[in-house]
Amino acid sequence: MIDFCGIELAHPVINASGCFDVLAARACFGEELIERFPFSAYVSKTVTLAPRAGNPPPRLWESAAGMINSIGLPNPGIEGYLDEHLGEYAKLGVPLITNVMGSTAAEFVALLAALEDRSEVAAIELNVSCPNVATGLDIGADPRGLRLLLEELRPLTQKPLIVKLTPNTADVGACASAAEEGGADAVSLINTLRAMALGYGGKPWLGGGSGGLSGPAIRAVALAQVASVAERVAIPIVGMGGVSSGADAAALLEVGALLVAVGTESFRDPAAGARISAELARLFAENAGS
């Protein structure tokens, strides 16, 4: 068992937010894919205060060793999430981490208030990869703003707060440290790297203009950023970015992550979570024996 912010987890592998839609997986691949749930906790895709339709298509671009997404946060809004999704997620038999995003502190405050009495929610992940409407800076790329946000939010909830850091910043360690100073219980990283692709006639391919790069292409960046954050903070780290095998997961644990999240690999192989967990367990067993 792993103690993650007071939550007991059976093993270190969880899903990255937005990367394993359990309801779609069940509809496409059948009940058996989620019957023995592959992840030790389930992280929801990002929820905002109001419903959002998301970006116009195309929303994906296949890049060398990865993909660029510009999904644009489609979600039913917090009320829709509570009414339509929470009941289903609560049946998975693993702790639920709800990922939320606001573009102002007031929006985050309202999101936390809506979740506070919902015992189905074990922890809240704050997606801070969104521009602050006042400064235009990504909230998570501005250490001072991030610390102030956490100082405001921390007293408002009993639930652990995990800050999902953005890699699109000069000093991710400073951002992680600011989150910790503000009272974050854990950090998770990395979100996708800002990227774009050109289509026919030199026009941006993605409907949203630019997007975020993920997959094996970003694995080395994730490793470096997790390692540098581990040198700066004492709170638990959830490492992610291009994890496609047990060995990739082990590398993130090696440099200081407590948990590892599987993201893009689940799109390529919907059974990736179970496979990567099994590979990691085998590596642990081999190392214990040597």
CB of 131 to ligand RRO, least distance (A): 12
Using rule CB under 6 A, residue 212 touches ligand RRO: yes
User: Taking the C-alpha atoms of 277, 280, 284 and 285 in order, what is their torsion angle to the nearest 10 degrees?
Assistant: 70
Place of tokens 């540098």: 228
CB of 190 to ligand RRO, least distance (A): 10
Using rule CB under 6 A, residue 150 touches ligand RRO: no
Work out which of 40, 129, 177, 244 binds ligand RRO, going by CB under 6 A. 129
Q: How many CB atoms lie within 10 A of CB 49?
A: 20
Using rule CB under 6 A, residue 73 touches ligand RRO: yes
Binding segment toward ligand RRO, per CB under 6 A, in 66-74, 80-88, 228-236, 279-287: 66-74
Binding segment toward ligand RRO, per CB under 6 A, in 69-77, 114-122, 181-189, 222-230: 69-77
CB of 70 to ligand RRO, least distance (A): 6
Q: Starting from the edge strand earliest in sequence, which strands make up the sheet with 60-63, in order?
A: 60-63, 66-69, 211-214, 193-195
Q: Which of residues 4-33 bind ligand RRO (CB under 6 A)?
A: 18
Task: Compute the distance between CA of residue 283 and CA of residue 68 in angstroms, rounded to an integer.
Answer: 31
**Closer residue to ligand RRO (CB): 177 or 191:** 191
Site track for ligand RRO across 166-195, x = CB under 6 A: -------------------------xx---
Q: Which residue, 227, 102, 92, 99, is CA-closest to 161?
A: 99
Task: Compute the distance between CA of residue 63 and CA of residue 66 in angstroms, rounded to an integer.
Answer: 5
Q: Which residue, 220, 213, 168, is CA-closest to 192?
A: 213
- Cis omega before residue 190 (within 30°)? yes
Work out which of 69, 132, 264, 277 binds ligand RRO, going by CB under 6 A. 69
Is 130 an annotated catalytic residue?
A: yes
| Residues engaged in binding ligand RRO (CB under 6 A) | 18, 46, 69-73, 127, 129, 191-192, 212
The set of catalytic residues is 130
